[in-house]
Structure 1
């Protein structure tokens, strides 16, 4: 048993409100549709599933779609929610990007431009484009209305594209990946490389603040770095994780960050001080693969290699830690409901 494990076991443990069980593979992605009452998860078991957050139970049947080989679903590595919140994009092992109607749980359309394993996805803030990152280093920009590729596939230089995200003004795409220690910034219309931001290890997760002024990365070395987008200079490092930071999620007010790591924890960060919130991390039994805030920031869901998804009461955690105001907008005073 490691010294780190001993340290964790001595600290108080925060308990998940619900554990959502049903997937038979790693939970790879999570999105929160509008309303705050449901989530959608995707898994390497080949399914997407809709869950009720009040009860922690699955709603309806598994969402599956046959692959080109006729199999009933393929491993799903990533999902991303449209800005309106009515459609979810998924990326699969067979290289297909699918758009799903959330209310029907059915595929609207399929795009095939990658040959294998779509590892990362994002929507543009205007909802007009979806960007997909491929296991072998290429990126494609898809037009949602025409259902055609408008850019790419273009090679990024990453061996595997583990993270892709559009800037809030839709003019740039940031990518991170394996075997190249950097974030790369690309022009959305041309695919031109605009900037390279060096790291000490590979970049596995990315988040852009809603005002576009900061870009945040999670890396293999367990560090979270914050960059000012006007200069691409590093302005902060968040330290605490002991292994790769595989996913990060920003609260909608840009004041609170959640991170998920292969050190079996998820952590909360105060982005006004760049310090952790409260002493105990959110402890899991296996790798934490994904993390996502609800729209109001009061709930957090994590997905794990143990096949389960976990619901955490962030409102209560912040109250206990004395950070209630982190759920308010920066110019407003928080008041509990």
Structure 2
């Protein structure tokens, strides 16, 4: 094996080794999920050298520098204030969903008006209107990280594949017998998964448009699905700093589906077989998510609990209680060490999953109270230091993930805020109202003094560095 270069991934922190073996270029990920800005660089370096033969004595200074750069990105920024930047109105009927491309330069909106629209984020200009569905466009997605394709799922029982550049429809996926309500591309953009009210999930070939598998086993609507992501980084080369992406070897091999039948299923994507059936909730599952390394799945349910499961065994590891009403959303931070839940009880809770023993150290570290209506969506920023919540009280709120301190109340909507896509940067927040209104807020200039915009942009969509 011959090491060719290092690739740096900021969130979650990691170093990817690109090497040549038998004439083939391969990658190996050194995940530093427990890294903090206080971590001892020499200790981490020594551990890497002991475990990884590709990191020779000659390479140690380079790896030391990479670890230091990762640590620098983890320094907590506390002063974050946002002011109104832009309000956009476009669809003639309410929105259903919102999604961003990898860089955040464009986003898409789905609507009850049967269309999906592509927008330029900075200017707010409409780029394309994707027309063709005969009913509500409910589920939408970019093929991240490439972002050159868009998928839409509709109440007309079909999904469609579009060009993000031209707006042209490439394929119409027809096989569901009821509304399509969730969809996602796999990490390498070869497969599209769709979930429907017909209790089925389906896998489709992106190139040919053919159905690859129909995943049956649920006895009620499939309302959530997700591929395991694994690690991904970008390599230098393009003028914009974001070029080819290298995905971890296991990325996309596992998929989850969440259902109103109170269960979640784990599937082997290659075989189409169900590997585990996660049974334990006493009511409908509202959301489900993989941790970064796909070792854990978190599920949120109408039974007022969050449950954490081991994906290798299918065993339930812990039941997180405390919410007084239905739990509507759950998501991990980038490292998979914490998760945050959102509930109809008007609160969110942040949980720390680190530790060992039968409960793996699960503990609530922050209770986010202050909303006057149900909290339907929640997300972390890239560092995992901030939480953004969207509520029926017509506001979004920004919180310190460690202390639970309220950092900002984002007002201006006239209806419930139903979405806060996970594109939350130190400079821009995005959240969306149920009515045809999109609000983008930008940090006040005084809050970002002495900070380079180029450096901050790297911490959200980090161009990796290569060392030859």
Q: Cα 1:75–1:268, aligned 2, differ >3 Å: closer, same or farther?
A: farther
Which deviates more, 273-282 or 207-216?
A: 273-282
Distance 2:295 2:224 in 1: 19
Larger displacement relative to structure 2 (91-100 or 204-213): 204-213
Cα distance 1:268–1:21, how it changes in 2: closer, same or farther (>3 A)?
A: farther
RMSD of the TM alignment (CA)?
A: 3.8
Report the Cα distance in structure 2 between the residues aligned to 1:164 and 1:186, rounded to whole angstroms: 10
Per the alignment, residue 199 of structure 2 pairs with 137
Q: Is 2:131 the counterpart of 1:45?
A: no
Counterpart in the other structure of 1:121? 183
1:225 to 300, 303, 307: 307
Counterpart contact for 2:115–2:133, Cα < 8 Å? no
Summarize deviations over 1:235-258 as a string: whole Å, max 9, x none.
36275574451x555554546766
Which residue of the partner structure matches residue 200 of structure 1?
282
SS in 2 for 1:181: coil
Between 128-137 and 99-108, the greater mean CA deviation after superposition: 99-108
Report the count of equivalent residues: 299
What does the per-residue CA deviation read over 1:100-149, in whole Å, with 9 as the maximum and x for residues that have no partner? 21122332221111133101111112211111111110111111122211
Is 1:159 the counterpart of 2:241? The answer is no
Residue in structure 2 matched with residue 184 of structure 1 by the alignment: 265
Say whether the 8 Å CA contact 1:177–1:202 is kept in structure 2. yes
Q: 1:183 to 1:199 in 2, by over 3 A?
A: same
Q: Distance in 1 between matches of 2:417 and 2:345?
A: 8
Q: Matches of 2:140 and 2:295 in 1, distance apart?
A: 25
- Partner of residue 320, structure 2: 237
Q: Please state how far the C-alpha of 1:86 moved relative to its aligned partner.
A: 1.4
**Alpha-carbon separation, structure 1, partners of 2:346 and 2:89:** 18
Q: Deviations over 1:143-184 (max 9, x none)?
A: 1122211111x3232321101112233232211112x11111
Identify the range of structure 1 (142-151 vs 291-300) with the bigger mean alpha-carbon deviation: 291-300
In 1, distance between residues paired with 2:83 and 2:345? 17
Q: Match for residue 59 of structure 1? A: 126
Residues 163 and 41 of structure 1: CA distance in aligned 2, closer, same or farther (over 3 Å): same
Matched, 1:103 2:103: no
* Partner-residue secondary structure (3-state), 1:292: coil
Indicate how the Cα distance of structure 1 residues 158 and 264 shifts in structure 2: closer, same or farther if over 3 A, else same.
Answer: farther
Structure 1, residues 37-65: CA drift from partner, whole Å, max 9, x if none? Answer: 3321212221212334445x342453322
Query: In structure 2, how many angstroms separate the alpha carbons of the residues matched to 1:256 and 1:299?
Result: 23
- Between the aligned partners of 1:315 and 1:184, the Cα distance in structure 2 is 44
Q: Using a 3 Å threshold, how does the CA distance of structure 1 residues 262 and 117 change in structure 2: closer, same or farther?
A: farther
The normalised TM-score by structure 2 is: 0.54
1:66-100 C-alpha deviation (Å, 9 max, x unpaired): 54xxxxxx211111221212111110111111112
Gaps of 5+ in 2: 1-81, 230-249, 354-362, 372-388, 395-414, 449-457, 461-468
User: Of the two, which has the highest radius of gyration?
Assistant: 2
1:147 aligns with 2:209: yes
